[in-house]
Structure 1
Amino acid sequence: MAVLGSDSRRWSGLLLIFVFLCSFITPVVTVKHENFKKCDQSGFCKRNRAYADAALSTSSWQAPYSLDPASIKFDNGMLTGSVVKTIVNTAETVRLPLTIAFYESGTARVTLDEERRQKGDIVLRHDSKAKKQRYNEAEKWAIVGGTTLSQGAATSKGAEKGTTNISYGPAGTFEAVIRHSPFGIDFKRNGETQIQFNNRGLLNVEHWRPKVEKPVEEKKEGEEAVVGESAKDTEEDEGTWWDESFGGSTDSKPKGPEAVALDISFPNYQHVFGVAEHAGPLSLKETRGGDGKYSEPYRLYNSDVFEYEMDSPMTLYGAIPFMQAQKKDSTVGVFWLNAAETWIDITKSSSSTNPLSLGIGSKITTNTHWISESGLLDVFIFLGPKPQDVVGAYTELTGYTQLPQQFAIAYHQCRWNYVTDEDVRDVDRKFDKNRIPYDVIWLDIEYTEGKKYFTWDPDTFANPLGMEKQLDEHERKLVAIIDPHIKNEGNYPVVDELKSKDLAVHNKDGNIYEGWCWPGSSHWVDCFNPAAHTWWKSLFRYDKFKGTAKNTWIWNDMNEPSVFNGPETTMPKDNLHHGGWEHRDVHNINGMTFQNATYHAILARDKEEDKANVRPFVLTRSFYSGSQRLGAMWTGDNQAAWPHLEASIPMLLSMGISGFPFAGADVGGFFGNPSKELLTRWYQAGAFYPFFRGHAHIDTRRREPYLAGEPYTQIITQALRLRYSLLPAWYTAFHEAHTNGAPILRPNYYVHPGDEKGFAIDDQFYVGSTGLLAKPVTTEGADGVDIYLADKEKYFDYFDYWMYEGPTTVSLAASLDTIPLLMQGGHIIPRRDRPRRSSGLMRYDPFTLVVVIGNSGDAEGTLYLDDGESFDYEEGAFIHRRFEYKSATSTLMSEDLAAASASPSRKTKDYLKAMEKVRVEKVIVVGAPESWKSKKEVEVSEELAGKSSGTKSAELEWHGKEEGKAAWAVVRDPGIQIGAGWKISFA
């Protein structure tokens, strides 16, 4: 939900009539650019961009930073020293403590801080209440592992004079070449430079300094008054050092200027990806103007952007400052650990070894310039060489995505708002009447009493427990919204406790901050405060949040934080959080702290009921690196327009490679009324979103799938049933993401890192390791799509087994009732084909295995299963099988991937026993050999409890080739358990 400037009163009768009339009008929405800063309106960004312009325009530029050789120490995988900054136009210097850590994972980390100064020194802050150190707690929130120092890292012999070289990484194949003067670092793999720090000399740490009140010079007639030195006599623009105004608000800066900036270059890398979240292409654009380029840097400053536009570098709701660079067969990356407002410029340069080559054979280098307002310069370096090496190392640091409950990856039905508990019951009944599966229904803010969270409107939601009971009968769930703004109203126990316990964010004067949001006057929970975290957990207990049940889960919205009357619709930067840190220091982490508190509140809630074993589900809008550990995200307030459907795919691909794969976009578009064609195509695309939710604005017409009318309802239902049938494959992909950080939606470059033609493709994707290749239709009136096949492999249409072979681009017909979906040869795809009302009712359904034979003649795939809700899998209560078809022996086998235990836990035994009757009901072999044509049966053997049950036969049904289509065969009811070892012989 976004800022509408609404007051907090309940809708009056007249307003309801107005909303009803407006529901027949699709609003034209455009982003309010005047509400958000551009770089030249953000003092530190403007200063550092100007600094870069000055440096790059001067051939004799000498960066004023050098590493003091006498300060260098290296021990146990860590180098320390002091970088000395020489202040322009003075003889003064500032010392910046340097740490370069080398980890066992092969990751390196460079941290640059600033020495604390004593009273009287040049850098004393003018405000004695201000903290004297830079913000250094981002690691506390973002980093959870991967920081074991390398014992194998060592100084390299033969380093050039003026450099220190450290070898590290796998077999010592990585190297950091640290230049002393000017200070810079080249990171190499196998002797070739992959990443360069300060190669262009743009490193800039705005050192601490005292505020000097300069006298106002007397203004002569015809002249403006001048403060201190004239602008032409100073190297730096001091106009925004100590305060800065925008949109009628003034940001006081008691610590003065403290930005950090660094240029990071990727030599010979043309493509860079990441720095989510932005509504633009997967391959990031240049930002210094010109045809096809942006004129603004990419901005990371979590904001409630009411109507965001397409193809833009402007900030959105979340920030993941992780960037990857890609060239043929090589991926590298950097993670800029900083929670303050950050801007990133991207430019590209070409070079050629032969000046007469006219560009033929030239190589592209991508240059980036990172600028943050405050905090440390703290950067992690990943040298790959494969995409999964980089993503895996990053997610080892920041945490793997949560393994969600199974219901969470099924379909969610939402709108702002279902207006009564009877409305919810009615929607639930109509889904059943129309045989449309769904798992979750959502409630937006109108369920509360006067926008007071942890309450229910007694007139419209008089019986929430009865509503939840009806949902539970078909294993469905309820999600209710809880936002971080707490209504400032008397006799409201939640706000009374918030104020009496002093657990809210404070303003710059140290008083509880008051702003405006949905309830009107509000206060904001300070989840950086451990006491606030503890208090927040208590509010979700069933005896406190009355009317909630075990099938009630939570949605955190507006947690950027959104403040309707705040600068850039958020909290003033000079607000104060726990520990005295300014909001400017922690802004991009704020949303994660709220989701973190809610996640642990759900754990604590169920612990009260002796059921702490249930995985929480919490959706967040605002996020930072590490938020993936806590739940799901969605891309915010999109529009019911074809460009927004199209943009959702690169946005979700970017989230996946940024370590946060549990992501989705509002199906149908939040604002406006989609045409029936658009709604249908959006459901077909949404069936491939990791987080799959239909959602709509309060002013839109109702658009539940059963209201679309035929043929649209039936087509949408088929898309939903496709998602449900493939839930085993989706859950397996989530398990892989949970264990090694692999993205769920995978762009072409990730799957085919040697295929340069496909690096920029962002309108098609692979689903996990399944071999499923999808390209949703995102263009109005389209009746076909072109799909790029990067490898020399067979691909088969998922529905009719039409065969294609790469590498090439193929055209697929895609009438409105068709989803362009291919199966890559060499894979085995698990699914469940029984249509059910919800995923919970599928728990003991049988499986179908689709064996897709490719050019090698072989195929393999995996299946992961657990109870879909508890943490018992951590104690071995799961099934993890590898299926393999070998053409040499014409056999399909099932192998156990679970680590064998001499004494399995009780939970393991109980789960395996519960799954004993879950069987494989069908095996489909696509691309079946012609030699099977005359076969009528196959031989099946199964191993149970380590003992063979003998052999038996099963019927083989042959379907020969048709023009353009592959031959295929079916083994029906082979009589084998999904969790057992078995073999099917086709020989």
Structure 2
Amino acid sequence: MVMANSLKFVTVACCLFVVLLMAYPVESAKRYLFKTCEQSSFCRRNREYADLAQSKGAAWDSPYAIDSSTVQFDGGVLQGTILKSILDSKGDPTNVELPFQLVFLESGTARFMVDEKQRTDSPISGFPESITQRRYNEASKWAVTGDLTPDDNAIDATTDNERKDGVYKIKFGPDRYFEAVVESKPLRVAFYRDGEPQVILNDRGLINMDHWRAKPDPSQINDDPSLKNELDIKDMWEESFGGSTDTKPKGPESIALDVTFPGYEHVFGIPEHADKFSLRETRGGEGNHNEPYRLFNVDIFEYEVNSPMAMYGAIPFMQAQKKKSSVGIFWANGADTWIDIVKSKPNEQSFGVKKSTETHWISESGIIDMYVMLGPDPTSVYHQYGLLTGFTALPPIYAVGYHQCRWNYNSEDDVAEVDANFDKYEIPYDAIWLDIEYTENKKYFTWLKSMFPTPEKMMQNLDKRKRKLVVIIDPHIKKEAGYKTYETLSKGELAIKTSEGQEYNGWCWPGESAWIDTFNPKAADFWKDQYKPGKFCGYENNFLMWNDMNEPSVFNGPEVSAPRDALHYGNWEHRDVHNIYGATYHNATQQAMLARNPRQRPFVLTRSFFAGSQRYGAVWTGDNAASWDYLKIVTPMLLSHSIAGFSFVGADVGGFFGNPTPELLTRWYQAGAFYPFFRGHAHIESKRREPWLAGEPYTSLIRNAIRLRYQLLPSVYTAFHRASFDGVPIVRPMFLLAPENEEAFEIDDQFFFGETGLLVKPIVEEGARSTEIYIPDDELYYDYFDETIYEGIGYKHLDAPFEKIPILARGGHIIVRRDRYRRSATLMSHDPLTLVIHLDRSGNAGGVFYMDDGETMAYNRGAFLHRFFMFNAQDNILRSRSMQPSGASSRSYEKTIDEVRIEKIILVGFNTDKLKSARTVEAFQDKKSWSADIHVAETSDGKVSVVTVRDPKVLVIGDWSIQF
């Protein structure tokens, strides 16, 4: 009876905990759930270490130095041993050996690794004797898919005198364009391009690795000679927070390294944070943070804006940008990580008059595993990072359309009614989503039969209309006798375990639950089995997936997550892999969906992510709220995700929590039309807010915004295709197109969109009916809707009445559109195309168009169309030419689209004096020629002329030309 009452109490307490979180998402109700740096012993200790080094300045004598006698270079690898000076248990000086490698990859990226020499003489108390590798070294295994082969062409450029002084120089990269300079004492690794330092590791001497040591007797810990030089020994072997105790069976094992970007004032990346795009300093001061940025995947209700607090995902990638130069680093570590950022004063002698950015990376465990990418420009950095961690998966075309979701659509009738209303109000959409209430008592892979008696029929009805169904499945599995999914998971020992090796149980939506351990290959196989059509819904044509709560979220766990001393496959602790877990779950789901239907391109949305997650699907920014502040913070968040490799990103349109005003909802849809992932979503307690419920004029304005997205889908899909092979994101910062304009680097309330050249400035202020948009270069810009011309670097005033989205079209780009209304993206696949050409100052323009079947894997076998359109001012000819790779055949695919044509060409900014008096153009294709009529709208009131060719009768396949 006592046990039953205790269990009942825990159940009630956990449920009350969740209710309180959701009912009172105020700032004070969230912060106490999550650690500050001061409350995290390894962060606090390494910050104190940095303060000590800073206080000593040039007199700082770091205990780390390279043993020059161990250094050797061969086959593109410089390696040796770093010695850390410590005191032994008797108080005598000794050294800890830290093997290091500096690997120069064929891609031009450099990899710096530091490990601790394995200790097998002292088994770790409480752990199996089979553990011989104390430090977790597999983060790169999960994040990196690229070729890590060392570059045999890297050369040792060290002189004999330099070698005697403990200095080593290696030239590497394309044409040996880059140089690495390694100094033994003080330990320093600098990377040069064009003879100038770009990235310096350990420039301030903050490298630090907690070395292996036996746990001291608690009664003698203050007198232990080996701890004499430690600044702070509090919580080194055991740590409590929020009522939970971390046993730390392996003791302290943190790592830290400082990274300096000399002459770079701006750094970006390290998502996920709801903060400015150009990262702030973290050591205080006006407009700065007092806390480091934290990377620790957590379930945080209604996250704070303008904060360095941890959120749902972690990508430890940082880009530094200065005029005409860009570099990047990737810290391959999946443990709790804190990052300090400070801006040093200009040092004219060393780096010119620009500030330098000094960063300090601190992780709880693992090895130092740092990748350095030397650019030289943003596009090169994104490509180099993509070659490491993979590129954005090319999504199916319907995934790029609009998605309709809420917690929850309650029944099959509800789904059918919402679907019908989209048609009634002539609003396109591609997928309707079901949250957790579709299940039987929150048991995944089940259906609540009273509300969803015939799920296959429901999906078939949607499929007839070319629409999809997305359902949610989370990693927590309800612990219940008779529930086969749980019983198989438990019997197979496929769940996360406690520090004692038993199945770990915590609380989430179903109540007491176990969490699948997707680091375990057998668990991943088990997951595939759950998705088989015979086990979970027999219909497969339009069945898509949503992963949530995969941080993992544990309502009664420390920091709303799993205990750090819990165990995963291979007996690695959760502390080692925490930030990677969500990515392994995302990967397992994607693989399960591929196994379910190998022909179908899967779509899987995730909330938690790590570097490399872009290979598996899409992500959204989590539990935002219906307020203008949350709308405003979306753009910098999307920019941060995008430059860190995760292009397929969006935010809940309208805000998840609360009820948006009609104005806020409308402006959010206008912004959301340009989110790579475009979904409306709402909390279960929020009022229904499907677009037609807003009433007029809002419904029409929302309809127009969604239709604009569908009109631009050919260009959006083309941008996704580019991201899938070179890493250039969909949402693009100012410096990507204007790398010389440093004034634009901090601008994060506008962005360039995909391949279109469109400069988008969302309205994020209540009542705003105008805005200031910044033009970052000397190119011509045209109002997208009325062709008003803008030019000259600086802010321009744009009217933004409620019905208008502020968009400028940059000269020199050709936008590919489909202008006919359809119910969904799939139904548009054979519609004719419109080309919108905005001429640059020289009268030229170019654009790319990519097209495939939008659903299957056939594009991997050459079943796609890739064209380049160009307008040349010298001969006034618009040409279409193939971009198919050499040897690739697309003939079989082209036969399926041989009727797709160009139905309209809109030429903006053309000098109409060049037109013939007959006002016709000549078209050429397949050795034939013909005339096509044109319409001319002359220049007036600050607008430019527009020439429209209606039905030029050219096909999208094959080369063609049109003479103006």
TM-score normalised over the length of structure 1: 0.93
Name the aligned partner's letter for residue 177 of structure 1. V
CA contact (8 A) 1:667 1:695 kept: yes
> Unaligned stretches of 5+ in structure 1?
13-17, 217-225, 607-611
* 2:746 aligned with 1:760: yes
Q: Which of 554, 561, 564 lines up with 2:555 in the alignment?
A: 564
Q: Spell out the pairing of 1:335-734 with structure 2 (5 A cutoff).
A: 335-353=330-348, 362-546=353-537, 548-606=539-597, 612-734=598-720
* 2:263 aligned with 1:268: yes
Q: Which of 165, 168, 180 lines up with 1:164 in the alignment?
A: 168
CA contact (8 A) 2:455 2:537 kept: no
Name the aligned partner's letter for residue 283 of structure 2. R
Q: Distance in 2 between matches of 1:818 and 1:351?
A: 44
Partner of 2:903: 921
* 2:727 aligned with 1:741: yes
Partner of 1:223: none
Q: Which of 808, 822, 836 lines up with 1:822 in the alignment?
A: 808
Q: Distance in 2 between matches of 1:690 and 1:510?
A: 42
Name the aligned partner's letter for residue 744 of structure 2. G
Q: CA deviation at 1:363?
A: 2.4
Name the aligned partner's letter for residue 966 of structure 1. V
Deviations 1:888-930 (A, max 9, x none): 101000000002438x3xxx33310110000000000000113
Deviations 1:603-652 (A, max 9, x none): 1111xxxxx12110000000000000000000000010001000000000
Q: CA deviation at 1:941?
A: 3.8
CA contact (8 A) 2:925 2:954 kept: no
Q: CA deviation at 1:58?
A: 1.2
Q: Spell out the pairing of 1:106-121 with structure 2 (5 A cutoff).
A: 106-119=108-121
SS in 2 for 1:779: coil
Name the aligned partner's letter for residue 322 of structure 1. F
Q: CA deviation at 1:153?
A: 0.6
Q: Distance in 2 between matches of 1:49 and 1:670?
A: 36
Q: Spell out the pairing of 1:307-322 with structure 2 (5 A cutoff).
A: 307-322=302-317
Q: Which of 748, 770, 776 lines up with 1:784 in the alignment?
A: 770
CA contact (8 A) 1:936 1:957 kept: no
CA contact (8 A) 2:833 2:901 kept: yes
Partner of 1:220: none
Q: Distance in 1 between matches of 2:407 and 2:665?
A: 17
Q: CA deviation at 1:691?
A: 0.2
SS in 2 for 1:535: helix
Q: CA deviation at 1:128?
A: 5.0
Q: Distance in 2 between matches of 1:292 and 1:939?
A: 58
**Residues 638 and 500 (structure 1), Cα distance of their counterparts in 2 relative to 1, 3 Å cut:** same
Q: Distance in 2 between matches of 1:588 and 1:517?
A: 19
CA contact (8 A) 1:8 1:450 kept: no
Partner of 1:609: none
Q: CA deviation at 1:162?
A: 2.2
Give the % identical residues. Answer: 51
SS in 2 for 1:426: helix
Q: Distance in 2 between matches of 1:107 and 1:230?
A: 42
Partner of 1:149: 150
CA contact (8 A) 1:633 1:663 kept: yes
**Residues 157 and 582 (structure 1), Cα distance of their counterparts in 2 relative to 1, 3 Å cut:** closer
* 2:938 aligned with 1:960: yes
Q: CA deviation at 1:117?
A: 1.9
Q: Which of 91, 96, 102 lines up with 2:93 in the alignment?
A: 91
Q: CA deviation at 1:233?
A: 5.3
Q: CA deviation at 1:31?
A: 5.2
Deviations 1:196-239 (A, max 9, x none): 111111000110011121436xxxxxxxxx85459995533222
Q: Distance in 2 between matches of 1:473 and 1:759?
A: 47
Name the aligned partner's letter for residue 326 of structure 1. Q
SS in 2 for 1:39: coil
Q: Which of 45, 48, 68 lines up with 2:46 in the alignment?
A: 48
Greater mean alpha carbon deviation, residues 723-732 or residues 362-371: 362-371
Q: Distance in 1 between matches of 2:777 and 2:560?
A: 47
Partner of 1:809: 795
**Residues 201 and 634 (structure 1), Cα distance of their counterparts in 2 relative to 1, 3 Å cut:** same
Greater mean alpha carbon deviation, residues 127-136 or residues 657-666: 127-136
Output the aligned Cα RMSD.
Answer: 2.2
Q: Distance in 2 between matches of 1:963 and 1:90?
A: 85
Deviations 1:50-87 (A, max 9, x none): 11111110132111111111111111111111111111
**Residues 290 and 193 (structure 1), Cα distance of their counterparts in 2 relative to 1, 3 Å cut:** same
Q: CA deviation at 1:935?
A: 3.9
**Residues 540 and 354 (structure 1), Cα distance of their counterparts in 2 relative to 1, 3 Å cut:** closer
Q: Spell out the pairing of 1:899-910 with structure 2 (5 A cutoff).
A: 899-901=885-887, 904=889, 908-910=890-892
Q: CA deviation at 1:127?
A: 4.3
Partner of 1:74: 73
CA contact (8 A) 2:716 2:755 kept: no
Partner of 2:189: 185
Q: Distance in 1 between matches of 2:307 and 2:724?
A: 31
Q: Distance in 1 between matches of 2:613 and 2:632?
A: 25
Partner of 1:969: 947
SS in 2 for 1:69: strand
Q: Distance in 2 between matches of 1:284 and 1:310?
A: 14
Greater mean alpha carbon deviation, residues 805-814 or residues 862-871: 805-814
Q: Distance in 2 between matches of 1:684 and 1:8?
A: 43
Name the aligned partner's letter for residue 303 of structure 1. V
Deviations 1:135-189 (A, max 9, x none): 1111111111142321221111446322011111122221111001121111111
Q: CA deviation at 1:90?
A: 3.8
Q: Which of 208, 212, 216 lines up with 1:208 in the alignment?
A: 212
SS in 2 for 1:202: coil
Deviations 1:709-760 (A, max 9, x none): 0000000000000000000000000000001011111010122111111010
SS in 2 for 1:250: strand
Partner of 1:222: none
Q: Distance in 1 between matches of 2:853 and 2:905?
A: 24
SS in 1 for 2:294: strand
CA contact (8 A) 1:7 1:518 kept: no
> Unaligned stretches of 5+ in structure 2?
1-7
Q: Distance in 1 between matches of 2:340 and 2:714?
A: 42
User: Alignment length, in residue pairs?
Assistant: 943
Q: Which of 855, 878, 892 lines up with 1:892 in the alignment?
A: 878
Q: CA deviation at 1:962?
A: 1.2
Greater mean alpha carbon deviation, residues 164-173 or residues 556-565: 164-173
CA contact (8 A) 1:258 1:374 kept: yes
**Residues 857 and 283 (structure 1), Cα distance of their counterparts in 2 relative to 1, 3 Å cut:** same
Q: Distance in 2 between matches of 1:500 and 1:118?
A: 32
SS in 1 for 2:245: strand
Q: Distance in 2 between matches of 1:561 and 1:28?
A: 22
